[in-house]
Structure 1
Amino acid sequence: MSLDRTVIEDEEEDESPSPPASSTSSNSETYMVGFIIANIVGLQYYSGRISGRELVGLVREPLNPFDSNAIKVFNTRTIQVGHIEKKVSSVLAPLIDSNLVHVEGIVPKSPKNTVRYKIPCHIHVFAKIDAFETVKLAFLRNGLCLLSDNNPLFSTSESVVVKEKNKSDLDQIFKLVDQNLSQNAVNGAIEPPKGLILTDLFLHQKQGLYWLYHRENSNELPPFWVENDGGFLNVLTNYQTDERPDPLCGGIFADDMGLGKTLTLLSLIALDKCKVSTDGTCEAIEPENEQLVTRSRKRSRKGSKKQKTEECTGGVDPKMTLVVCPPSVFSTWITQLTEHTKRGKLKAYLYYGDRTQDVSELQKYDIVLTTYTILGSEFDSSNDPIKKIDWWRVILDEAHIIKNHRAKQSNAVNKLNVKNRWVVTGTPIQNGSMDLFSLMAFLRFHPFSTKSYWDSLVQRPIAQGNPNGLSRLQALMATFSLRRTKEKASIGLPPKTIHTCHVELSMEERKLYDEMETEAKNFVAKYISKGSVTHNYSTVLSIILRLRQICTHTELVPSDVRSSLLSYNFEDASNKPDLLKKLVLLLQDSEDLDCPICLSPPSKMIITSCAHIFCENCIIRAIKNSISVCPLCRHRVTESDLFSPPSEYAPEVDESTCKPSSKATALLKLLEASRTENPSVKSVVFSQFRKLLLLLEEPLKEAGFKTLRLDGAMSAKRRANVIEEFGGPGPGGPTVLLASLKASGTGINLTAASRVYLMEPWWNPAVEEQAMDRVHRIGQTEAVKVVKMIANDSIDERILVLQEKKHKLAKEAFCKKGKDEKREIDLADLRTLMSL
């Protein structure tokens, strides 16, 4: 199979560091302020129904044309029941919008004898402790009665009666579901159709294919639903209905990175053209003479007349699959289609660049590939053909990209018309458990796809350190996700080892870092003391970013920031005749004058008032870290006692080239040692900073390395060409790939390399794991060595501590052991980062 790659055009990826999850924006450490009794109104306008003692979903509707404070009410199946009455929503809405509170609702009893078109509801209000008084005052000013724990009626709260007293019953429900996983057990294997898939699958891939196929074709009740007296009951929310709920078609395919998920998914798509028997064999049902048409959009339009655009009205036939992924992953799907499928059997279309708006044109293809960015930008368009099609299957590849449920691209994928929904990512949890909510919304796993349900049942218990929170999350993940690791898949991968290279910053780097950190500590301490971290979060992140940049290369820090911190207005020694005379004598008497601190020729020479010569960085650091005395004579010295020599006495310094940073120097030594050991070894150097990749090119070239660069500023076509060139065999080819962590860390194959260098730690370990597993994956034949470059006594080391916390949660979400703890980056973590 070949693909005209001229269709792949430039699309820049956002490589700006996403902020770590913060307690200021999550529900961590929130507690119940009280509850208010309100009416659900407008029942006559909506089809949703609710039962007694049923949890309901409360969702803000700021774009409601009649009331900007509207709060919608949903039942367990996310069917709207009505709205919260205006007098209550007018108070709650501003508090919700400002993130001061989150709310949960429950109908206290059977609504049969209530006023027509109204149902009473207990709305439980949660906030951080320091916001309690503000919240209570908001209700008081508006004449609403918020029942708090000092009110005798507080004990009538359904939150207390139903949730607290029967909390053990709720957890027992999760345990029972966890124990009854027959619908998810990988207890079979399916051979892919030989007439379509050319490659023999590993056993774990055949088992994965069985699981995928079973979830799409099972008619079992969704998790937490049971048959009850001829109807159906959701045991979590107490919602009862006579209508059988739709099965949960799809799930999370979360195999470890590098285990061949793409080929397994292509095998699943190939099964659409086959009849699968009970023994796991396939019989083709498509005509044998079907031609493979995988071509550029321009080429496909040349051979056919344009047809009138019309909506797909044929249900889910033909069985079309939409694959949504980052641009860097296109090359993986293209390569897998080319190498592993029989020519003439699967048709693929790149909905990218100059793309068709004709629905009938898209319906000619089995697979349509597009990006999250395109979906987000086009979904408001009335001409968008993607949303006019009833898709048989949608695959979100690298699905952690939609972890922010408020993002436009997340909303776009949620609104697609699709029968089978698949989330594909080796790292479903990156920052914390809240990342999963967006995936629940896409999968339409009710009731967890409604945020108030998710908060109540999972998120809040985890955030508060309740050990039941983690066990609930584990049970939940087990019901609809498949996760296998490389260690357990038995695919014969060579080992991967991870090492840490500790780097000492140079004197100049250390001076700049210490000054920036001192300033940063003052800022953050001020924000924390005033309780204003939320309003200044972008400033805090910017400060932390500067610290991280200094650890990697001072040239990454904007010049105005460097100059403001590095500038010292030392008085010229020309104005001190006695001192100038001593300076001349010292220089005349010693041809090899060394700084007494670093024992090297002075850089940016400074003479003290006591007539001793030092490097500028050395003496500044010395007087800051001591009681401000000269290291030689112990004479009292401050910055006002330091003088710079006149230009005619200062040694000449070559500033024509940018001096490599300490990390760059250490990297060069490691690469040279690796080359000495094996001249043909290939390495990938990852950094989140594109400028660093540019700064590394010249010193690596001078050291005799042939390099390539892969970053987010390149077009998808250029990236594919770089990957192909880097993987080429033979001597004289490139041996070092300088790669952007965010643009190159997902969906590409770099098994030509066996060495990985991470120039700086990233907030969550999942991003780093994705990057290193571009190299350590199926197809790798050599042992892989990963080196993390960490600056000593810096924020680098403290980020590693936070990484370990996140890694622990991601692992425990799939493992039945351990207790949970606070997972988001909260104020305590911020203090850790800033060493406060």
Structure 2
Amino acid sequence: MDDDDDSQQPFSQSQTEIYLAGFIMANIVGLRYYNGTINGREILGLVRDPLNQYDTNAIKVLNTQSLQVGFIERSVAAVISPLMDAHIIQIEGIVGTNNRSKFRIPCQIHIFSHLSSFDVVHDAFIGSTVHFISHSDPSFTLSHSVAVQETRADLAAGTSAAAGNNKTKIKTLDQIFKLVRENLAAKNNISEPLIPPSKLIKSELLQHQKEALGWLVHRENSDDLPPFWEEKEGGFVNVLTNYQTSTRPESLRGGIFADGMGLGKTLTMLSLIAFDKMKCGKKRSRSRVEMNSTLIVCPPSVISTWITQLEEHTNGGALKTYLYYGDRRTQDAEELRKYDIVLTTYATLGAELRCPDVAVKKLGWRRIVLDEAHTIKNVNAGQSQAVIGLNGKRRWAVTGTPIQNGSYDLFSLMAFLHFEPFSIKSYWQNLVQRPLTQGKQTGLSRLQVLMAAISLRRTKDTALVGLPPKIVETCYVELSCEERKLYDDVKEEIKSLMMHYNSNDRLVYSYSTILSMILRLRQICTHLSMCPLDFKACLFSSTDIEDVSKNPELLQTLVRMLQDGEDFDCPICLSPPTDIVITCCAHIFCRECILKTLQRSNSSCPLCRRSLSESDLFSAPPESFKTDTTELCTPEVGSSTKVSTLIKLLTESRDQNPATKSVVFSQFRKMLLLLEEPLKAAGFKTLRLDGTQNARQRAQVIDQFQLSKVDEPMILLASLKSSSTGINLTSASRVYLMEPWWNPAVEEQAMDRVHRIGQKEEVKIVKLIAKNSIEEKILQLQEMKKDITSRGSGKRSNDIAGMGINDLRFVLGE
């Protein structure tokens, strides 16, 4: 897969609509050195290879099986590689049909770009030996591009029919997708419900779980050809790419299990493992590892949930489980063979990415399960690459939110499932992503066909699980005079700064500063104590690009400010940063992510495009990433309007029913600490759950909260991002959100920790929103993001900590 993933680059032109600028004729060379084969009119995978020792402009050519065929000839690569590295163009290739030899194969390379860059693309070929064929060139009609074919499909089909040549009648891509849709409908995607073996699973499954188990078992044992493959004349052909082979392609045994949050997917997956174990146990000729070994990968916060579910739903010792995490990472593969389930985390596998001899890589797993699979939404992140590269016969992506930022999130799942050709970026871009991004109905239709072919999705409304209702309310609060004055002052400073940098390109350079100031706006809405008195001096020293190596105080201040909010994501992997480094242009990244970026020939900052080298990176001071309780002053309850409102609401709830438990979510750990004293003063007992706790500590907190009596802790103070997935908090029936989150999917995940199977009471969710503030704008932004996700749009939120430049302007009311 292409490491140079334009879709993950904030502010690049790939974030907006791109169109076919033209194409060039080229040769694939070096055929004798590689085993990959291709056929006429087959779509190619074209991948930059900047670290190639012979040519830094190299572009590899892959077939639909991800096997290398050769390279694009040097003269062509020398022109288009700089355009690719600058994120000006995206390219697609398709094999020609004439003049083939054992040394070279002709192909067409189609070049896509933003309309405003068409002239730049055209000028790049002036003076070169490569002929660029644009729309105005008569030869443009010879293009085999999907983009061109789709616009002339009816004409081509009509011409073919008029000639009486039915055998050569062209099938458009959408006709192919339509046939697949019809075949799926004829087969009926719903399988017979199954019941897991009572010797292993002691809990009774609900009807929708029995149906899901039937679907899972059917897919794991299917011998059908993968979607888009047909058997022809004794061979097999992929009708999308025209790849042909005499070897029958392996069945796609697995898929996306995408039932809504809280519908009991964990128990269903345990039932699948148990069902398979009983079936395989009767076949004594099979080794234990082939029969039973399932690798389950999940975030650290979810490990305790799997352990709890195993204890609750399986008979003692029925499924032997090994925790491959922390100090318990054995490198003895034979030891892992003894277990039915091996539990590990994405971070653990990511850390072992470049270690070839680790135990998890030595085994051929019978089944690999990714829980909270949206964790790998960035296919280029180390942990994503690690799970994609594992050896497993059956692969399951389990997530209640397969799409969070946009349809591109699904590409990483296709890569993990090895669903060819959609597991290769160039094919995904060509066949699905581009028409989606351009708002074409064909893009959405294709995406729906793909999901129907490999996924199962039911919601709480359709699963008929009998859950009590969930009521969501918005409680608006008026900021105090002191809060309002500081809020308005900071907002005016931000607007002045944005006016000074009046273009998007210039605005990028001060992005960290503006983002930090907006963070302060949001904190003011929640609690003044989170906003330091000297924050202006810290901020405005970084208005212009400054080498932070010359200003250690700025370095530490910037890190401390951004770490006050748990919602900060690395701009490259769009995940919370690990092993944080800061660039000389004051931008923050994961060490692994930015080092990978700098390996390109034209290395630059992904945000501001300033030239960077490894010497321009600085490690973040580790002590600045933890906020100790002793650092906090004890504020009066009246110092925060939201705290006063929260205590009032909690008191009313307690007066109505003293046994009611509540969960208070905040995205700021500092806010959770600030809440402890005023809640204690109001007579409430609390527990805290946040990202500083290890898996064992988190499990203890959850168990204490779930099992406690009326005279024990009634309020759980929980970090929104660290506690929004994989945990069960059904003992509570009230949820309070102290601030709105940029991504509504994260809020929904947090709510569904309480509103899920096992909940017996009506669930009430209260969002605390400051009137006439950025928080009201965030609510509107959430609705827009929900609309994008619900329509399956290809538009991706170009966000850093959830926000892009246009989002900045919107929430500030510009």
Indicate conservation of the 8 Å contact 1:760/1:789, yes or no: yes
Instruction: Choose the corresponding residue for 2:233, options 221, 229, 233.
Output: 229
Residue aligning to 2:530: 556
Q: 1:414 aligns with which of 384, 388, 392?
A: 388
SS at match of 1:192: coil
Please state if 1:337 is matched with 2:289. Answer: no
Does 2:249 align with 1:245? yes
- Partner in structure 2 of residue 715 of structure 1: 694
Corresponding residue for residue 285 of structure 1: 282
Structure 2 residue aligned with 1:132: 118
SS at match of 2:768: strand
Between the two proteins, the alignment pairs up a number of residues equal to 690
Distance, in Å, in 1 between the alignment partners of 2:11 and 2:763 is 37
In structure 2, distance between residues paired with 1:758 and 1:71: 49
Q: Which amino acid aligns with 2:435?
A: P
Q: Distance in 2 between matches of 1:354 and 1:702?
A: 40
> Is 1:388 aligned to residue 375 of structure 2?
no
Q: Displacement, 1:821?
A: 7.8
| Cα shift readout 1:16-52 (whole Å, capped 9, x = no counterpart) | xxx9995637443112222222211112222222222
Q: Give deviations 1:203-253, integer Å, cap 9, x for gaps.
A: 111110111111111011111112222222222222222222111111110
Write the letter of the residue equivalent to 2:172. Answer: D
Report the counterpart of residue 732 of structure 2 in structure 1.
Answer: 753
Equivalent residue for 1:357, pick from 331, 356, 359: 331
Query: How far apart, in 1, do the equivalents of 2:675 and 2:238 lie?
Result: 58
Q: Distance in 2 between matches of 1:827 and 1:656?
A: 36
| Alpha-carbon distance between aligned partners in 2 of 1:27 and 1:528, rounded to the nearest angstrom | 20
Shift of 1:482: 0.5
CA 1:189–1:102 in 2, change beyond 3 Å: closer, same or farther? same
Aligned to 2:192: 188
Q: Where does 1:362-381 land on structure 2 (aligned, <5 Å)? A: 362-381=336-355
The alpha-carbon distance between structure 1 residues 95 and 549, as it changes in their structure 2 partners (threshold 3 A), is: farther
CA distance in 1, matches of 2:149, 2:672: 57
Name the structure 2 match of 1:145: 131
Q: Distance in 1 between matches of 2:142 and 2:506?
A: 36
CA contact (8 A) 2:407 2:795 kept: no
Q: Which 10-residue stretch deviates more, 161-170 or 247-256? A: 161-170
Structure 2 vs 1, CA of residues 92 and 546 (structure 1 numbering), >3 Å: closer, same or farther? farther
Cα distance in 1 for residues equivalent to 2:690 and 2:16: 35
- 8 Å contact kept, 2:292–2:341: no
Could you tell me which amino acid in structure 2 is paired with residue 169 of structure 1? T
Contact 1:188 1:210 in 2 (8 A): yes
- The CA deviation at 1:513 is 2.4
Alignment partner of 1:496 is 2:467:
no
Deviations 1:438-486 (A, max 9, x none): 1111111111111111111111111111122112111111110100111
Taking a change above 3 Å as real, the CA distance of residues 550 and 463 of structure 1, as seen in their structure-2 partners, is farther
CA drift at 1:402: 0.7
The yes-or-no answer on 1:32 pairing with 2:32 is no
1:574-631 CA distance string (max 9 Å, x none): xxxxxxxxxxxxxxxxxxxxxxxxxxxxxxxxxxxxxxxxxxxxxxxxxxxxxxxxxx
Pairing 1:311-322 to 2, within 5 Å after superposition: 317-322=290-295
- For the structure 1 residues 678 and 412, does the alpha-carbon distance in structure 2 shift closer, same or farther, using more than 3 Å as the test? same
CA distance in 2, matches of 1:315, 1:248: 23
CA distance in 2, matches of 1:51, 1:79: 13
Partner in structure 1 of residue 57 of structure 2: 69
Report the Cα offset of residue 319 of structure 1: 3.0
1:756 Cα deviation (Å)?
Answer: 0.7
Alpha carbons of 1:474 and 1:28: their partners in 2 closer, same or farther (altered >3 Å)?
farther
Deviation at 1:731, TM superposition (A): 2.0
Report the Cα offset of residue 822 of structure 1: 4.2
Question: For 1:474 and 1:22, how far apart are their aligned partners in 2?
Answer: 27
Partner of 2:754: 775
Which stretch of the first structure deviates more once superposed, 118-127 or 390-399?
118-127
Q: 1:158 to 1:675 in 2, by over 3 A?
A: same
Deviation of the 1:157 alpha carbon: 2.0
| Per-residue Cα deviation, 1:782-814 (whole angstroms, up to 9, x for no partner) | 00011112222222222222322332343344x
Match of 1:706 in 2: 685
- Who is 2:635 aligned against? 657
- Name the SS for the 2:123 alignment partner: helix
Which among 158, 173, 191 is matched to residue 144 of structure 2?
158
**Structure 1 residues 782 and 259: CA distance shift in structure 2, 3 A:** same
Q: Distance in 2 between matches of 1:556 and 1:65?
A: 51
Contact 1:24 1:534 in 2 (8 A): no
Counterpart for residue 617 of structure 2: none
Instruction: Say if 2:53 is the partner of 1:53.
Output: no
The 3 A distance-change label for structure 1 pair 782 and 489 is: same
Q: Distance in 1 between matches of 2:468 and 2:488?
A: 42
In structure 2, do the counterparts of structure 1 residues 427 and 119 end up closer, same or farther at CA, with 3 Å as the change threshold?
Answer: same
Q: How does 1:715-734 map to 2 (within 5 A)?
A: 715-734=694-713
Match of 1:98 in 2: 86
Partner SS, residue 32 of structure 2 = helix
Q: Which amino acid in 2 is paired with 1:721?
A: Q
Aligned: 1:685 with 2:646: no
State whether residues 262 and 336 of structure 1, in contact with CA within 8 Å, keep that contact through their aligned partners in structure 2.
yes
Q: Look up the equivalent residue of 1:672 and give its one-letter code.
A: T
Give the structure 1 partner of residue 764 of structure 2. 785
Identity %: 58
Q: 1:279-306: CA deviations, max 9, x gaps?
A: xxxxx6399xxxxxxxxxxxxxxxxxxx
Change (3 A) 1:286 1:556: farther
- 3-state SS of 1:317 partner: helix
Q: Secondary structure at the match of 1:258?
A: coil
User: Counterpart of 2:589?
Assistant: none
* Whole-angstrom CA distance in 2 between matches of 1:456 and 1:511: 52
Distance apart, 1:539 and its partner CA: 4.6
The CA deviation at 1:556 is 2.7
2:261 is the alignment partner of 1:275: no
Q: CA deviation at 1:503?
A: 2.0
Kept after mapping to 2: 8 A contact 1:515/1:565: no
Equivalence for 1:650: none
Q: Secondary structure at the match of 1:390?
A: coil
Q: Which runs of 5+ in 1 are unaligned?
A: 1-18, 277-283, 288-312, 567-654, 814-819
Instruction: Return closer, same or farther for 1:462/1:187 CA change in 2, 3 Å cut-off.
Output: same
What secondary structure is seen at the aligned counterpart in 1 of 2:172? helix
Equivalent position of 2:809 in the other structure = 831
SS in 2 for 1:131: helix
SS in 2 for 1:364: coil
1:71 positional shift: 1.7
Deviations 1:65-86 (A, max 9, x none): 3333322212222222211122
Paired residue for 1:79? Answer: 67
For 2:9 and 2:187, how far apart are their aligned partners in 1?
34
Question: Contact 2:751 / 2:765 at 8 angstroms: preserved in 1?
Answer: yes
Paired position in structure 2 for 1:178: 181
For 1:177, give the aligned amino acid: V
In structure 2, the residue corresponding to 1:165 is in which secondary structure?
A: helix
Whether 1:397 and 2:404 are equivalent positions in the alignment is no
Amino acid at match of 2:107: C
Matched to 2:302, the amino acid is: V
Equivalent pair of 2:686/2:716 in contact (CA under 8 Å)? yes
Give the Å deviation of 1:110.
2.2
Asked if the contact 1:103/1:125 (under 8 Å) is kept, the reply is yes
Higher relative contact order (CA closer than 8 Å, sequence separation 6+): 1
What's the CA shift for 1:145? 2.8
User: Does the residue aligned with 1:140 lie in a helix, a strand or coil?
Assistant: coil
1:537 and 1:698 map into 2 onto residues whose CA distance is: 35
Q: Structure 2 length as normaliser, TM-score?
A: 0.80
- Shift in Å, 1:716: 1.0
How many Å separate the matches in 2 of 1:147 and 1:524? 41
Give the aligned residue type for 1:240.
Q
SS at structure 2 position matched to 1:158: coil
**2:431 corresponds to 1:431:** no
Give the secondary structure class of the aligned counterpart of 1:387. Answer: helix
Alignment equivalent of 2:296, drawn from 316, 319, 323: 323
Distance across 1 between alignment mates of 2:515 and 2:315: 50
Report which of the two structures shows the higher radius of gyration computed on alpha carbons.
1
